[in-house]
Amino acid sequence: MFRDLQVTPLAALAFAVLAASSSAILVRWSAAPSSVAALYRVLFTVGIVAPIALARPADRAAFARFSRRDLAWAAVAGVALAVHFSAWFESLGHTSVAASVTLVQTQPVFVAIGAALLLGERVDRVTVAGIAVALAGATAMTFGDAGQAPISDSTWYGNSLALVGAITVAGYVLAGRSIRQRVPLFPYVTVVYTACALTLLGIVVVQGHDLFAYPAREWLLFLAMAVGPGVLGHTIVNWVLEHVESVVVSVAWLGEPVGATLLAFGLLAEVPDTITVGGGVVVLAGIYVTTVRRERGTEG
């Protein structure tokens, strides 16, 4: 799809990170339980991508060629994504946008370890340096945000949930990097998002939340979460994973805290302090080192 438009993987990745930056704002605007918001975000995303997959003959044929192993790993990716959404959405109710989004983007550490151990991807010194710089900026953003008020038990709980979200989204990225070498984009995301939606449905039922009693405003927010962060964010990233190493993708995701912090400033009046802003600049520097410099080295 993106190849036909002559879009480079890095340009698509940058656009996807920008789209994903709106997620925290949309979640904050929603008054629905966090697991319900996560469920409908993913369910509506399935409603968008599944018809595309079923309408294309090549994609329909790809469903039949799914091996049991790939189906199993796609299901694992879906469950990991469900836990990520459930934990991270809930964290936004207990800590600030800047802290939550930054902590959830510590996932490059877990991706780098998993990629080296499970996928055989070489993590060279340029990548390690980029990760270190970006995580230093992310840490600065977190402490800068925390410095605006005493850290309560609720804040620590929210920060812990964001860290759980980081670990589980790393599993999602690693599974996607492996399978996307063999399975076309839309069949893959249809299976993963369906497994994710079924897992979230189970979480909502266990928690005892109502499935339907929400005003029109909430349904519009659910749809916006699906179209923006879902289709234009996560789905584009799944296309990029076919062309770019998982470590590079995971570090590029560190741009999301910067975008989310700026949106929170403009739309939620959450004013970042000097440390938070400086940390955002460092995050961008780490992304540059890991992606642009690494890609140049690969081409050379």
- Tell me which residue of 168, 179, 161, 43 sits closest to 119, measured CA to CA: 179
The 3-state secondary structure of the chain reads CCCCCCCCHHHHHHHHHHHHCCHHHHHHHCCCCHHHHHHHHHHHHHHHHHHHHHHCHHHHHHHHHCCHHHHHHHHHHHHHHHHHHHHHHHHCCCCCHHHHHHHHCCCHHHHHHHHHHHHCCCCCHHHHHHHHHHHHHHHHHHHHHHCCCCCCHHHHHHHHHHHHHHHHHHHHHHHHHHHCCCCCHHHHHHHHHHHHHHHHHHHHHHHCCCCCCCCHHHHHHHHHHHHHHHHHHHHHHHHHCCCCCHHHHHHHCCHHHHHHHHHHHHHCCCCCCHHHHHHHHHHHHHHHHHHHHHHHHHHC
pLDDT at 294: 54
Residue 263 is which amino acid?
L
Nearest-Å Rg of the Cα atoms of the chain is: 18
**pLDDT at residue 150 greater than cutoff 60:** no
pTM listed for this prediction: 0.78
Q: Which two tokens stand for residue 94?
A: 């207990």
Do residues 165 and 91 lie in contact, with contact meaning Cβ atoms separated by under 8 Å?
yes
- Tell me which residue of 300, 295, 287, 288 sits closest to 108, measured CA to CA: 287
User: Comparing 65-74, 141-150, 159-168, 282-291, which segment has the lowest mean pLDDT?
Assistant: 141-150
Count Cβ atoms below 10 Å from residue 193 Cβ, excluding itself.
30
Can you tell me the distance from the alpha carbon of 241 to that of 237, in angstroms, rounded to the nearest whole number? Answer: 6
Can you tell me the distance from the alpha carbon of 254 to that of 267, in angstroms, rounded to the nearest whole number? Answer: 21
What confidence tens digit (pLDDT) does each residue in 193-234 have? 999 999 999 999 999 999 999 999 999 999 999 999 989 988
Mean pLDDT over all residues of the chain?
A: 83
**Segment 64-68 mean pLDDT:** 89
Cα angle 111, 117, 119 (rounded to 5 degrees) comes to: 75
* CA atoms lying within 13 Å on the CB side of residue 22: 20
- Tell me which residue of 268, 215, 232, 261 sits closest to 36, measured CA to CA: 215
- Tell me which residue of 88, 84, 86, 65 sits closest to 188, measured CA to CA: 65
Residues 6+ apart with CB under 8 A from 185: 1, 235, 238, 239, 242
What confidence tens digit (pLDDT) does each residue in 3-48 have? 555 678 888 998 998 898 899 899 999 999 999 999 999 999 999 9
pLDDT at 199: 97
- Tell me which residue of 277, 238, 227, 291 sits closest to 40, measured CA to CA: 227
**pLDDT at residue 81 greater than cutoff 80:** yes
